[in-house]
Structure 1
Amino acid sequence: MQQNSVSSSYVAAELQAREHRAGHDFGEASRSARKAAVIALSDGQAGAWWNMTFLQAECLLAAGEFEASAEVAGTLVTSVATTPQLQAQVHILRAKACQGAGLLDIAAAEARAATELMQDEADIEVNVTAGLALISALGDSGQLDEAWAESLNLAKVISAEVDEQVLGKAYWVIGNVAFLCGKVPEGLYYHELAAATFSPTRNLDVWAKFNKASAAMRLAADVSDDDTLRCIERAELATDIIGGSANDYLLLKLNRGHWNFLAGDHAAAVALLEDIFVEAEKPSPQILGEAGLLLGRANAAMGHREAAQKHLLKAVEHFEASGAQQRADQAREYLTNEA
Structure 2
Amino acid sequence: MGIKFGEKLRKARIDSQLTQSQLGAGKYSTSYISLLETGSREPTQEIIDELSARLGMDRETMDSWNTPVSRDEAEYVLLEHRARQSFTAREYADAEATATEAAHIALRLKNSSAWWNMMFLRAESLRDQGKLQDCRDTALEITTHPLTGESVALTVRAETLLGNAYLGQGKLHLAVEHALNAVENGRALPPDSMIYISALFVLIASLAESGQLEAAWEHCAALGAAVADGAPRQTAGNAYWAIGNVAFKRQDIAAGLEYHQLASERLLPASDLELWARFNKASASMRLSAGVIDPGTLACIEKAELAMSIIDEDRGNDLDLVLIRARWLHLNGKPDQSLERIESVSGRSAEMSSLQLGEIQLLTARCLVSLGRGDEAMGHLTRAQQTFATAGAPNRASLAIELATELRASIR
Q: Distance in 1 between matches of 2:138 and 2:321?
A: 28
The equivalent of 1:323 in structure 2 is none
Cα distance, 1:294–1:124 mapped onto 2, change above 3 Å:
same
Displacement after TM superposition at 1:50 (Å): 1.1
Find out whether 1:46 has 2:112 as its counterpart. yes
Code of the aligned partner of 2:257: L
Cα contact 1:104–1:137 (8 A) shared by 2 = yes
Change in CA separation of 1:18 and 1:233 when aligned onto 2, cut-off 3 Å: farther
Matched position secondary structure for 1:7? helix
Task: Find the counterpart in structure 2 of residue 17 from structure 1.
Answer: 83
Q: Structure 2-normalised TM-score?
A: 0.69
For residue 324 of structure 1, what is the aligned residue in structure 2? none
Range with greater deviation from structure 2 (156-165 or 264-273): 264-273
Select 2:350's aligned residue among 262, 268, 278: 278
Residue of structure 1 in register with 2:380 after alignment: 307
Mapped partners of 1:318, 1:175: distance in 2 = 26
Aligned partner letter, 1:81: L
CA offsets per residue over residues 178-212 of structure 1, 9 Å max, x none? 11111111101001111112222223343233222
- 2:157 equivalent in structure 1: 89
Q: Distance in 2 between matches of 1:236 and 1:150?
A: 32
CA deviations 1:131-166 (Å, max 9, x no partner) are 221111211222222222322343345421433322
Residue 29 of structure 1 corresponds to which residue in structure 2? Answer: 95
Corresponding position: 1:146 with 2:219: no
Shift of 1:34: 1.6
Q: Determine if contact 1:111/1:133 at 8 Å carries over to the other structure.
A: yes
Deviations 1:250-304 (A, max 9, x none): 5445534544543534424544676675236xx5xxxx43652452243244232
Counterpart check, 1:204 vs 2:273:
yes
Instruction: Kindly provide the amino acid, as one letter, of the partner of residue 402 in structure 2.
Output: T
Corresponding letter in the other structure for 1:289: L
Task: Judge conservation of contact 2:385–2:396 (CA < 8 Å) in 1.
Answer: no
Which deviates further from its counterpart, 71-80 or 249-258? 249-258
Larger Cα-atom Rg: 2
The reply on whether 1:100 has 2:168 as its aligned counterpart is yes
Decide whether the 8 Å contact of 1:276 with 1:291 is kept in 2: no
1:67 aligns with 2:163: no
Aligned to 1:79: 145
1:119 partner letter: R
Shift of 1:77: 1.0
Mapped contact 2:127–2:165 kept (Cα < 8 A):
yes
CA distance in 2, matches of 1:3, 1:160: 31
Where do 1:100-119 residues align within 5 Å?
100-119=168-187
Q: Which whole-Å CA distance do the structure 2 matches of 1:54 and 1:223 have between them? A: 41
Question: Is residue 217 from structure 1 mapped to residue 286 from structure 2 by the alignment?
Answer: yes
Matches within 5 A, 1:177-326: 177-242=246-311, 249=318, 251-263=320-332, 264=335, 265-268=337-340, 270-271=342-343, 277-279=349-351, 288-289=354-355, 291-302=357-368, 303=374, 304-320=377-393
AA aligned to 1:159 is A
Counterpart code for 1:296: L
Q: Secondary structure at the match of 2:147?
A: coil
Report the Cα distance in structure 1 between the residues aligned to 2:173 and 2:357, rounded to whole angstroms. 22
Root mean square deviation of aligned Cα = 3.0
8 Å contact from structure 2 (residues 361, 383) kept in 1: no
2:207/2:215 contact within 8 Å kept: yes
Within 2, Cα distance between the matches of 1:332 and 1:81?
Answer: 49
Query: Unpaired runs of 5+ in structure 1?
Result: 321-327
SS in 1 for 2:110: coil
Q: Which digits, 9 at most, give the CA deviation of each residue in 1:65-116, with x for residues without a partner?
A: 3333233222211111232222212222233333333333332222112112
Structure-1-length-normalised TM-score: 0.82
Aligned residue-pair number: 324
8 Å CA contact retained: 1:261, 1:269? no
Query: Could you tell me the percent identity over the aligned residues?
Result: 31
Match of 2:401 in 1: 335
